[in-house]
Structure 1
Amino acid sequence: MPRYIVERAFPGGLDLPTNETGDRLCRKIVETNAEEGVTWVHSYVSLDRTHTFCVYDAPNPEAIREVARRNDLPVGGITEVSVLDPYFYLGIGQAGTPSVAKSRTRAPWLPFSYLAA
């Protein structure tokens, strides 16, 4: 399933209490999302609480927009993303030999263009 980053703006600040009220609100959001095949993975909140960057798995951006409307949440932007994991590059290459990136971590003085060849 595609993964998306959803940007939201809360000019007055995000008000999500850490009590039963907040718990009920989050459960309602998760239930509404499930009706459209959307999964809220997690969110990042700016320190001033005026912006969130939410990670979602969803069939398409339209499903995210629909559940946002039903959940009364703003949507500033939706970007389909893929994972870039630095630990992938630190693994072992084919036939049990260290990968190029693994070699680079042991010999950081070599230019990347040399290692990529």
Structure 2
Amino acid sequence: MPRYMVERTFPDGLHIPMNSEGAAACQSVVERNADLGVTWVHSYVSDDKQKTYCLYDGPTPEAIRQAAERNGLPVDRISKVAVLDPYFYQ
């Protein structure tokens, strides 16, 4: 399955509470994604919470974009990526 980096901008910041409400919100994203064969691997959030860099596995960039739309999430850019690991060369 191809892997993609999804860059997003949240002008007002991304605010997901660190409680059961936040966990439920994240689980909803996972469930909607699954309908399209998309898996959220993990995300990196900037200190100001205005940018996220999210790793997804999915069949196509279009499926990733459609999943984002279903979840009400912005998409700035979708890039197909591969892992570069410093231990690969050892």
- Whether TM exceeds 0.5 here: the answer is yes
Letter in 2 for 1:72: G
Q: Which has the higher helix share?
A: 1
Distance 1:73 1:28 in 2: 12
Gaps in structure 1 of 5+ consecutive residues: 91-117
Cα root mean square deviation, aligned: 0.5
Greater RCO, CA 8 A, separation 6+ = 2
Q: Deviations over 1:78-116 (max 9, x none)?
A: 0001111110101xxxxxxxxxxxxxxxxxxxxxxxxxx
Structure 1 CA distance, aligned partners of 2:5 and 2:61? 10
**Structure 2, gaps ≥5 residues long:** none
Percent identity, aligned pairs only?
Answer: 61
TM-score, normalising length from structure 2? 0.98
Deviations 1:50-98 (CA, angstroms, capped at 9, x unpaired): 00000000000000111100000000000001111110101xxxxxxxx
Runs of 4 or more off by more than 6 Å in structure 1? none
Q: Quote how far apart the aligned CAs of 1:20 are.
A: 1.1
